Amino acid sequence: MATIDKDLLAIQEMRDAVSQANAAQAAYMQYSQQQVDSIVKAVADAAFKEAERLGKMAVEETGMGIQNHKKMKNEVASRDVYEDIKDLKTVGVIGTDRLKKVTEIASPFGVIAGIVPTTNPTSTAIFKTLISLKTRNGLVLSPHPYAVKCTKEALDICRVAAENAGAPEGLLQCLTMSSMEATQQLMKHPQIHLILATGGGALVKAAYSSGKPAYGVGPGNVPAYIEKSANIQKAARQLVQSKSFDNGTICATEQAIIVDKAIAEQVLAELKKQHAYILNAEEKLKMEKLISPVPGKVNPQIVGKSAVSLAHSIGIMVPEETKVLVGLETMIGKNIPFSLEKLSPIFAFYTVEDSTEAKQVMVDLLNIGGRGHSCSIHTENAALAEQFSLDLPVSRIVVNTLSSIGAVGGTTGLAPSFTLGCGTFGGNITSDNITARHLLNIKRMAYGIKDVEVPAPEFDLHPVVENIKAQAPSLDTEVVQQIVDQVLKQITLQTK
């Protein structure tokens, strides 16, 4: 019996999905704002109800993260995103400037290719579905190979709710065969109109290289500075909570703590109270080999694992209540494991003389990975926070809160989002938290409001006259006729 080529099947599945999504989106374009809004609400409600089950599925399938933390992410992706976009006008005339006589009209992009990461496989699927539906776009999701089942289940919950609320069948699609070739071809498909890529650097680069408009987001390597004026107890508590949230799988999670020398001992003591384990020199060496067996590359096996399991895996006995592991570090570089983005509950800890040195350490950490993403500052000095915000090459500066949840809009006033732009600092087109506002073409109808008199052309016959004068003594009738023809030709040209 002949074997079936899985890549060919995956490519056919992708082509069918894109075709169906386009047909459905053409119908969806005719829906009113009221129809769109009722569909979006139905989907948000359905996803919110299934937040816990989807969180459980994600942990079971990927082996990453913490079930009740995944539930929280699913709740943010459904309820919080819905609350942020529910009143947004996305159909027809969405704005009028009566003074300037300009009318703004919303138009969808078409069909969006949504790339979904293994770290947030269900919450990202819900988020991308809601913002696509709100803007009358179709969606084809490409899940991570290690998270196909839970991503498809999240999409199916949204799809059924959308169709029951009146959405056209086929508008929401999810690929199931986890083929890199199919994903690459999806991003280049002529009927895909935008790529919304959340994932690793190589995948985001592929999105930008596809020839399609793309929102790709870069990696995070978030530095957190505890300045000497900070509330140390609160800062330590928030850092441990943030780093241990879903075992560090959010790209906006802090990766390194930078502390003023004057308060370093106090900070370490508070971290211990919050169940951080400070590695000794020998333990740190073991952990470095686990973090990065190959210089410059983080071991994917550590992503989303608990602090206790990571420690035990290399023979380090830590208390069962340990939430994060901390390694004291002085160096920064691609070959320095603790200074990389670890996507797990492992912190680097740097001691600095003052805020000037702290800023340089933060820049150095961002430069090895994470430029444009986010940074965290704990301080009671508002002027210092503002100065750091002016100087650092990041798109989000979260102050006195958890970066992991704050940067995605959970504890701050930022737009709730699971796709965080890094601006040109990180090679991205936007520095925004991507949301429904980014999935619309805005057409503008503009009336004339100023009368302009277009002046008649001025004829410069000076060169011709000078030519006649120069030739006057020797002119014969034929030459005169040629000059007259030349003058008439110039006048004709200038009046066209």
Give me the active site residues, please. 251
Q: What angle do CA 99, 103, 108 make, to 5 degrees?
A: 155
Sequence-distant (6+) residues with CB within 8 A of 38 are 165, 166
- C-beta of residue 324 within 8 angstroms of C-beta of residue 276: yes
Of 18, 369, 37, 58, which Cα lies nearest the Cα of 195?
Answer: 18
Residue 63's φ and ψ, nearest 5 degrees, are 70, 15
* 290/158 Cα distance (integer angstroms): 39
Residue type, 277: Y
Query: In whole angstroms, how far apart are CA 295 and each of 113, 218, 348?
Result: 33, 20, 17
CB count within 10 Å of CB 82 equals 20
- C-beta of residue 347 within 8 angstroms of C-beta of residue 323: no
CA atoms within 13 A on the CB side of 232: 17
Sequence-distant (6+) residues with CB within 8 A of 1 are none
Give the strands of the sheet with 440-446, arranged side by side: 92-97, 102-108, 440-446
CB count within 10 Å of CB 320 equals 7
* 339/327 Cα distance (integer angstroms): 10
The DSSP output letter for 294 is B
